[in-house]
Amino acid sequence: MSDLSINPNPLLALDEGPPAFDRIRPEHVQPAVEQLLKDTTTGLEQIELSLENPAAATWSNTIGSLEALGQRWERIWSPVSHLMGVKNSDALREAHEAVLADVVALGLRMRQSRPIYDALAHIRQDETLWSQLDETQQRIVSKRIQDAELAGIALPASEQERFNKISERLSQLSTEFSNHVLDATRDWELVLDHPDDVEGLPSSLTLLAAQSFNNQEEDQSADPESGPWRFTLDGPSAMPFLQHCRVPHLREKLYRAFVTRASDGELDNSPLINEILELRRERANLLGFDTFAEMSVATKMASVTDVESMFDLLRQASWDAGQADLADLQELARASGQDQPLCHWDLAFWAERLREQRFDLTDEQLRPYFPLERVLDGLFDLAGRLFGITVEPADGQAPTWHEDVRFFRVLAESGEPAAFFYLDPYSRPEDKRGGAWMDECLSRRIVAGQLQLPVAHLVCNGTPPVGDRPSLMTFREVETLFHEFGHGLQHMLTTVDHADASGINGVEWDAVELPSQFMENWCYHRETLMGIARHFETKEPLPETLFENLRRARNYRAGSLMLRQLNFGMLDMYLHHQYDPAGDETVLDAQQRIAASTSPLEPLPENRFLCGFQHIFAGGYAAGYYSYKWAELLSADAFSAFEEVGLDNEEAVATTGRRFRDTVLASGGGRHPMDVFRDFRGREPGTDALLRHTGLA
């Protein structure tokens, strides 16, 4: 403690400028967060007290005060969460764990404050007060009200009790559901000890399988060359096994186990599914919605009708292509000596063989053409052409958590600074989470009368430079960088000054992937990509054939992949909208019926994959699985605005880019995403561009 009095806690010390990432230590977390919790509780009580009479409510004593409280969370809690991802340690994890429960509880308490809810409801009902707010402010108030109502705040006492019971039971059920899947996955194994059985499997898989055997057995005698090998239903084991195992009956064994996971005996999830669906509907009904799907989309961009008509159009458009894909596989199998008609466990295997035959394209072939520095230059150059911004290095102007982390400044078209971002480019398995993400560091907002510019975190996991060899990226990593930068642009180029709605805040869940996926499209634009791709040693441009292969590989089996996603999405929507748990049709009947309409190969009657569908029964995707397709549809349609004016027509691209900047990127959560899309596109989104881009038009 004496140490802290000499060196003030950096989490508490700063009120402006970037966080002191170089000085924050695990021992700072607990005292700072405890202070934060205390101050927030006091602040919240003061707000609630001042709102005892809801008629005294104004913007500034409700949202205004809440924004001020939120700003302290941004200064104290958000750096901690960030460091958990990029500079993890046992000490930090412990400190985080020690305060987490209180943080979550206080967050809930703020969302469900009755005095604040009443005050906001008063503001919305009072015509004078309401008319004094601009569109963004009205949206912020409405969303806070809706958020509280969806948590049951407005229900009469008797219904509230039932509502809470349902919520509790639902959270139990989803935990049980996922435990069953976990247990069923753990309980199944396929141990092979004959080298013939593993012929053709990639070495990464045989290594994993030998390790898995050793982890399971006492004698630990397995090695990747001579076995034994243990395969499981875990994705990293099961998927490559189905793609590469040459022995059909072994593929069948694993496949059957996979699609019947958690579907019988003690681990059977089907009764849980029924109860979950029933309770979800009852909860939605209590809140005044006809179905759970209606409730789910109430906080999203698309309506149930939008989703259903998207599914319809996409399904019709991909059906023939899916059939043709199947015929291709059948033909290749026959030519390779398999005369039997293909079964479900053969598809992934032959699809991989066909891919190898059609595109001999490996990550390692492409890597030398994508040194990180060049990719960044190309990306920033593109952002300049599209949005008129300038990105310039500002290393050293903000403290970082690691020496490899870069810092950049973004200048608006006027030349004024508009935003900043950190880029943490390389993988560090010892203390950094895998994958790639964009996160907020600071949001655009007014702090003490001054505009605070947004600061973003872009985190990737690329290969670090080795010796004088620069960091070389796979094409997938290039796409990912463009993707995260797209999220970053929406955070950084917002023109909204209220933290509740600036940048990605307050953007509907099914609309947040629009800017990110939009940016990915440019990786397939010849001028953009060829401008970037240059061999790091020979300086040769990317060979034309490789670029063509990349482009064609993008749409490989597009029809089949589309149908597969539609199967999941349609089933999810049907179960949460039309399905009647008390009716004659069982959930597994529904699964079969929908599979039949989306599967070129007749569905396997024993398939009960629904019992392992964690996305919708144990994750956040209930009546929301469609959002994967919806995001693709939006980004393809947005990109097609550029295609329409001509991707190589610099002036027209610049004009369209500025319009994208001033609508999608600028509005953030300040306007309903359907309105924002209409602002940009002049109409509602449609499926044409997505179908054209995927070769299904």
CB atoms within 10 A of CB 396: 8
In this complex, which beta carbon is closest to Zn ion, that of residue 227 or of residue 488? 488
User: Do 630 and 573 meet the contact criterion of CB atoms below 8 Å apart?
Assistant: no
Q: What residues pair up with 423 in beta bridges, in sequence order?
A: 406, 458
Q: What is the per-residue binding string for Zn ion in 511-550, x denoting contact by CB under 5 A?
A: -----x----------------------------------
User: Do 411 and 417 meet the contact criterion of CB atoms below 8 Å apart?
Assistant: yes
- CA 160 to CA 33: how far, in whole Å? 32
CB of residue 337 to Zn ion, shortest distance in Å: 43
- CA 536 to CA 513: how far, in whole Å? 32
CB of residue 459 to Zn ion, shortest distance in Å: 12
In this complex, which beta carbon is closest to Zn ion, that of residue 410 or of residue 458? 458
**Residue 325 has which token pair?**
């894909």
DSSP 25-57: -HHHHHHHHHHHHHHHHHHHHHHHHHTSSGGG-
CB of residue 631 to Zn ion, shortest distance in Å: 8
DSSP 377: H
Q: How far is CA 633 from CA 534, 630, 644, in A?
A: 31, 5, 16
| Collapsed DSSP state (helix, strand, coil) of residue 62 | helix
- CA 388 to CA 579: how far, in whole Å? 50
Phi-psi bin for 255: left (phi > 0), alpha (psi -120 to 50), beta? alpha
Q: What residues pair up with 450 in beta bridges, in sequence order?
A: 447
In this complex, which beta carbon is closest to Zn ion, that of residue 409 or of residue 554? 554
User: Which residues does 674 contact at the CB level (< 8 Å), separation at least 6?
Assistant: 301, 684
For the question of residue 199 being annotated catalytic, the response is no
User: By 3-state DSSP, what share of the chain in percent is helix, strand and coil, each rounded to 5?
Assistant: 60, 10, 30
- CA 625 to CA 586: how far, in whole Å? 21
- CA 638 to CA 690: how far, in whole Å? 10
Of the listed pieces 145-153, 383-391, 450-458, 510-518, which binds Zn ion according to CB under 5 A?
Answer: 510-518
Tell me the site size for Zn ion, rule CB under 5 A: 1
Of the listed pieces 76-84, 158-166, 416-424, 508-516, which binds Zn ion according to CB under 5 A?
Answer: 508-516
Position closest to Zn ion via CB: 516
Which residue of the set 67, 477, 484, 513 is catalytic?
A: 484
CB of residue 292 to Zn ion, shortest distance in Å: 25
In this complex, which beta carbon is closest to Zn ion, that of residue 304 or of residue 676? 676
In this complex, which beta carbon is closest to Zn ion, that of residue 24 or of residue 458? 458
| Collapsed DSSP state (helix, strand, coil) of residue 666 | helix
In this complex, which beta carbon is closest to Zn ion, that of residue 350 or of residue 522? 522
CB of residue 301 to Zn ion, shortest distance in Å: 15
User: Do 346 and 243 meet the contact criterion of CB atoms below 8 Å apart?
Assistant: no
In this complex, which beta carbon is closest to Zn ion, that of residue 19 or of residue 425? 425
Binding of residue 260 to Zn ion (CB under 5 A): no
Q: Which residues are part of the catalytic machinery?
A: 484
| Interacting residue ranges for Zn ion, rule: CB under 5 A | 516
